[in-house]
Structure 1
Amino acid sequence: MRSHYCGAVRASDIGNIVTLCGWAHRRRDHGGVIFIDLRDRDGTVQVVIDPDTPEAFKIAEDVRAEFVLKVVGKVRARPEGTENANLPTGMVEVLTQTLEVLNPSLTPPFQLDDENLSENVRLQYRYLDLRRPAMQANMVLRYRVAKLMRDYLDQQGFIDVETPMLTRSTPEGARDYLVPSRVHDGMFYALPQSPQLFKQLLMVAGYDRYFQIVKCFRDEDLRADRQPEFTQVDLEMSFVEENDVMTLVEGMIRETFMKAKGIELAEPFPRMAYAEAMARFGSDKPDMRVTLELTEVTDAVKDVAFKVFSGPANDPNGRVAALRVPGGAALTRGEIDGYTEFVKIYGAKGLAYIKVNDASQLNEAGLQSPIVKNLNEAALKAIIERTGAQSGDLVFFGADKAKVVNDAIGALRLKIGHEKGHVDGRAWAPLWVVDFPMFEYNEDEKRWDALHHPFTSPKDGHEELLASDPGQALSKAYDMVLNGWEVGGGSIRIHREAIQEKVFAALNIGEEERRNKFGFLLDALQFGAPPHGGLAFGLDRLVTLMTGAESIRDVIAFPKTQRAACLMTDAPNAVDEKQLRELHIRLRNAVPGAAA
């Protein structure tokens, strides 16, 4: 039907007859000559219709935005002075010989070049939103990134193996999406949160190097970087140690960025222990472009009169951390109040601060703050010395349970860093975070939870800590971080059944429960399971970073809202009584629109 894509017409085609198909992006009537910018996925080209072709001209008079057109015409150079150097097709235009409307269009609910669209409107009319050049560029980049990764892994000897979408529910982390079984009364499948157990079983089966670009599902609260269904680049390798996996996938990311975007990432990626990341940045996914750091002052304020500090400082689970902001004494009271409200989002009760007017005077003459009078000179001296505060700086404080301090002041570090320009100028700052704890303590349930997942191997020499002191056991886990986003995470897995049993015991998973949920894995580990490990990349997050989009919804063709709804198809929806009966389900609460 066509000879060229619209965006592919070039000066080398001058004099040739071309057939183009696409959408009318814009129509302009210049007093007897009609111009149409014809658009397809490859770009736009200017089409000219003049009265010398009366049939085509008559049709063009009625063309409106988003009409689907077929144009046959002759490529010619644009008249001198009308060229558009910003367009690949800007040196040429197509003089129309015949014009055909393949399909008219209703007036679109928004202009495709409107940059201030409501996201809800975009999602409701996603098929129109996806026509926008920016969205098409995002989707093409997503395809290219996936293909580059697939090609890289193929060259490294990996094979693509599909794992089940319907599996058993093993709710250890996020909530599962459940699928009722029609043929097994009262029983449910779960959609996979990841292919974790199946890829481990593939290693037991001797497949050595597996990968899959796979949909995964988690029924959890959503944010800008979360979706109920998301795509992983999932891989697993046998007979490897941590460095083997990290080196291979680091090479994949470096090659993908270079070939897809011409971006050269650092080689090698720096590595940082989890404990250091939390101490310095309050986060296990620090944005290394931000130059601000947290400073530990817990021990320095144990004896101060200010209970807000001394209370957490004397709590084994507490922390007092300082955040120095160079030049921060210039912050207005309104800005400080705004930051105070911001940290409350993360559970902080408030935000103490000291303005350093004169760093040489450790009293209210040199330090401006309501809390100064409640801090002794030794504490003030330690704070100024450790933070390196200079005259004109400001020091914020977090004092609470360590998790609250890390979350709140870590987020404040990012906010102030980017808002006030405390960044080092790098466009890309990759990092490996390693040596994660095996477990984190769940205060609500008074038990240990796996920090990554319960199949992560402890570091060599830490196996005995699983029973005696689980909180001190470190794991062979590693996360890849890029500009403050965790883009990939993995670990060396447990390949010995006895060690796996110890981890389940540390997690207070009783013998009956482990056999019920994981008996097939425990059995498999006894049949010559090789040492193995792997990693999974979040494809959506990675492409979001590469495009500079603010949300992963901008790199997914048909995403859900933050309430896990599809505004275009109106999903989820009520189903009729017949379907429910077949699935042996009776609703406890009436659903609007459902059968009674």
Structure 2
Amino acid sequence: MRTHYCGELGSGQIGQEVVLCGWVQRRRDHGGVIFIDLRDRVGLVQIVFDPDRPEPFARAEQVRSEYVLRVKGLVRQRPDGTINPELATGEIEVLGHALEILNTAETPPIHLDSHAADASEELRLRYRYLDLRRPEMQTRLHTRSRITRILRRFLDEHGFLDIETPILTKSTPEGARDYLVPSRTHQGSFFALPQSPQLFKQLLMMAGFDRYYQIARCFRDEDLRADRQPEFTQLDIEVSFMDEEGVMGLMESMIRTLFREVLEIALPDPFPRLSYSEAMQRFGSDRPDLRVPLELVDIADLVKAVDFQVFASPANDPEGRVAALRLPRGGELSRKEIDQYTQFVGIYGAKGLAYIKVNDWAKGREGLQSPILKFLTDDAIQGIMTRTGAQDGDLIFFGADKARVVNESLGALRVKLGHDLGLRQGDWQPLWVVDFPMFEYDAEHRRWVALHHPFTSPKETHLGLLETDPGACLSRAYDLVLNGTEIGGGSIRIHRPEVQRQVFRLLNISDEQAEERFGFLLRALRYGCPPHGGIAFGLDRLVMLMTGAHSIREVMAFPKTQTAACPLTEAPSPVDESQLKELGLRLRARP
């Protein structure tokens, strides 16, 4: 039906007759000449209809926004003074010779231009097929397609096989809630939608396929936020006979290739690395944004003996932490701004936000300003100033509580301060975080839980700690962080059945429970399982970062809302009683 896409036209086509198809972006009538901006998925071009061609001109008068047209015309240079440098096709226009209206359109319920942000997200999702016509959304999904194409090509060139794994599988609850699917042929039993292809990709290694990848759909019934959806996409990778150094090196190369080809950005080679413990100590997070040059400094030893119990109590608590965060030139903050940051850290459980303003350190205590100074000794103040490196004009924030609260609150505060005050340095900062603990202790339920998942291998030199000191046992896990967002996580897996059973027992999974949930994996481990490991990248998160979107919903074609609903299709929805009967199910009335 067409010879060219609208956005393909340029000075090289001047003098050619072309046939175009697309939607009307805008129609303008200027003194008897009608201008129509015609849009397709590649771009936009201006069409001109003169009254000396009565038939197409008369049709052009009927056209309205979002009508679907087929236009035949001659490409010509725009007259002097009318060139549009903001438009890729701004040097040319098409003189319309023939016009066919393929379909009319009602007035859209949302703007399809820059004003679309004025509409609520629910309205945009209800009319998603219209929202997706916007150039911004078209560009994002084009970029997403290009990203997946480059990732596939890289992995294909490095000997990986693209293998699909099942969507209907067994419920093996070890993380978020499963989405369950009742079976008609096995009434009373259920399939589960996969939270990830984790077990199947390990089985593929045991089957000898050596290098696997898949762009996989995953499903998790969990509370949502900007970077979570009930169904999402990950680039899933597994490889045999390769240690963590090999996996991380290959994945670095893949991500560097991706950024070079899509964004023309040269990422560092190699990526920096931090251990989990150092990341938590310096940044309060295992996914720190290294573009923000602010760091946490431990001061517990300096305040153990002070009369200020807000500091002294957590300083003497083995599970507590007292940390300082120096903000250069932070003395310029007003009391109102400090109060706002105090409210912000309260979101993370902090009971307050102590601070010291450094006005003139040469005057000693008298040159400082803070409501907590009267509780601190001269030695403590001197130690804090020395350790933080504070200078005149700076402000020092403090966090004192359980280590988790301090890490979460000050870790979030350092990022917020960095962004609010323009302290961010650079545009892209990748980071590997390694040497994660194998387990963390759940005090409420008095048991150990896996920090990653129960198939992650402990370091070979730490195997003995599984029996003697699980809290000190480190794993062979690694996370890839970009600008403070975890985009990928993986590990070397357990490949010996006795180690896997030992880990299960430590996680309070009995031999009987392990056999019921993971029997197929345990059996496979007994038949010559190779050492193997892998990684999974959150494709939606990666595209979100690379396109500058604020939510993964902005880079998905048809996402759900934050309540896991689809306004477009009105799912989830009730089903007929007959369908439930076929499945052997009956709904119970809510109390």
TM-score using structure 1 length: 0.97
**More displaced stretch, 213-222 vs 183-192:** 183-192
* Counterpart Cα distance in 2 of 1:472 and 1:295: 23
Tell me, what secondary structure is at the counterpart of 1:272? Answer: strand
> Residue in 2 aligned with 1:396?
397
* Counterpart Cα distance in 2 of 1:476 and 1:361: 51
What is the deviation of 1:360? 3.4
> Residue in 1 aligned with 2:581?
581
What is the deviation of 1:362? 4.4
* Counterpart Cα distance in 2 of 1:519 and 1:284: 33
> Residue in 2 aligned with 1:7?
7
Q: Is the 8 A contact 1:138 1:555 kept in 2?
A: yes
> Residue in 2 aligned with 1:594?
none
> Residue in 2 aligned with 1:187?
189
* Counterpart Cα distance in 2 of 1:361 and 1:312: 30
What is the aligned counterpart of 1:232 among 218, 225, 234?
234
Tell me, what secondary structure is at the counterpart of 2:341? Answer: helix
> Residue in 2 aligned with 1:552?
552
| Alignment RMSD | 1.1
Tell me, what secondary structure is at the counterpart of 1:461? Answer: helix
What is the deviation of 1:256? 0.9
For residue 64 of structure 2, what is the amino acid of its counterpart?
R
* Deviations 1:388-447, CA, capped at 9 Å, x for gaps: 1111111111111111111111000000011112222x1110110000000111122111
What is the aligned counterpart of 1:207 among 206, 209, 218?
209
**More displaced stretch, 154-163 vs 49-58:** 49-58
* Deviations 1:127-152, CA, capped at 9 Å, x for gaps: 01100111111001100100100010
For the pair 1:162 / 2:164, whether they are aligned, the reply is: yes
Residues 1:353 and 1:589: Cα distance change in structure 2 (over 3 Å): farther
* Counterpart Cα distance in 2 of 1:346 and 1:121: 32
For the pair 1:290 / 2:292, whether they are aligned, the reply is: yes
> Residue in 2 aligned with 1:453?
453
What is the aligned counterpart of 1:331 among 318, 330, 333?
333
* Deviations 1:157-189, CA, capped at 9 Å, x for gaps: 000111010111111111111111122222111
> Residue in 1 aligned with 2:407?
406
> Residue in 2 aligned with 1:514?
514
What is the deviation of 1:350? 1.4
For residue 409 of structure 1, what is the amino acid of its counterpart?
L
For residue 529 of structure 2, what is the amino acid of its counterpart?
A
What is the aligned counterpart of 2:306 among 304, 307, 330?
304
* Deviations 1:435-493, CA, capped at 9 Å, x for gaps: 00001111221111100101001012101111211110000000001100100010000
For residue 407 of structure 2, what is the amino acid of its counterpart?
N
Q: Is the 8 A contact 1:22 1:39 kept in 2?
A: yes
**More displaced stretch, 105-114 vs 202-211:** 105-114
* Counterpart Cα distance in 2 of 1:511 and 1:360: 66
Q: Write out aligned runs for 1:112-131 (5 A).
A: 112-115=112-115, 116-117=117-118, 118-131=120-133
* Deviations 1:488-531, CA, capped at 9 Å, x for gaps: 01000000011111111211111111111111111111111000
What is the deviation of 1:582? 1.8
* Deviations 1:518-572, CA, capped at 9 Å, x for gaps: 1111111111100000001011000111001111111100011111111111111
Q: Is the 8 A contact 1:75 1:94 kept in 2?
A: yes
**Alignment coverage as a number of residue pairs:** 589
Tell me, what secondary structure is at the counterpart of 2:460? Answer: coil
For residue 412 of structure 2, what is the amino acid of its counterpart?
A
Q: Is the 8 A contact 1:179 1:190 kept in 2?
A: yes
* Counterpart Cα distance in 1 of 2:584 and 2:353: 54
For residue 227 of structure 1, what is the amino acid of its counterpart?
Q
* Counterpart Cα distance in 2 of 1:573 and 1:384: 61
Q: Write out aligned runs for 1:135-534 (5 A).
A: 135-363=137-365, 365-424=366-425, 426-534=426-534
What is the deviation of 1:587? 2.0
> Residue in 2 aligned with 1:563?
563
* Counterpart Cα distance in 1 of 2:130 and 2:186: 42
**More displaced stretch, 353-362 vs 99-108:** 353-362
Tell me, what secondary structure is at the counterpart of 2:584? Answer: coil
Tell me, what secondary structure is at the counterpart of 1:94? Answer: strand
* Counterpart Cα distance in 2 of 1:121 and 1:292: 40
Unaligned runs of 5+ in 2: none
> Residue in 2 aligned with 1:38?
38
* Deviations 1:365-395, CA, capped at 9 Å, x for gaps: 2221111111122221221111111111111
* Counterpart Cα distance in 2 of 1:348 and 1:433: 26
For residue 577 of structure 1, what is the amino acid of its counterpart?
E
* Counterpart Cα distance in 2 of 1:176 and 1:404: 29
What is the deviation of 1:590? 4.9
Tell me, what secondary structure is at the counterpart of 1:230? Answer: strand
What is the deviation of 1:304? 1.3
> Residue in 2 aligned with 1:63?
63
> Residue in 1 aligned with 2:85?
85
* Counterpart Cα distance in 2 of 1:318 and 1:182: 53
For residue 376 of structure 2, what is the amino acid of its counterpart?
L
* Counterpart Cα distance in 1 of 2:123 and 2:501: 51
What is the deviation of 1:361? 4.2
Q: Is the 8 A contact 1:362 1:380 kept in 2?
A: no
* Counterpart Cα distance in 1 of 2:372 and 2:516: 56
Q: Is the 8 A contact 1:177 1:219 kept in 2?
A: yes
Tell me, what secondary structure is at the counterpart of 2:156? Answer: helix
For residue 89 of structure 2, what is the amino acid of its counterpart?
T
Tell me, what secondary structure is at the counterpart of 1:360? Answer: helix
For residue 314 of structure 1, what is the amino acid of its counterpart?
N
Unaligned runs of 5+ in 1: 592-596
For residue 586 of structure 2, what is the amino acid of its counterpart?
R
* Counterpart Cα distance in 1 of 2:179 and 2:367: 58
* Counterpart Cα distance in 2 of 1:361 and 1:174: 56
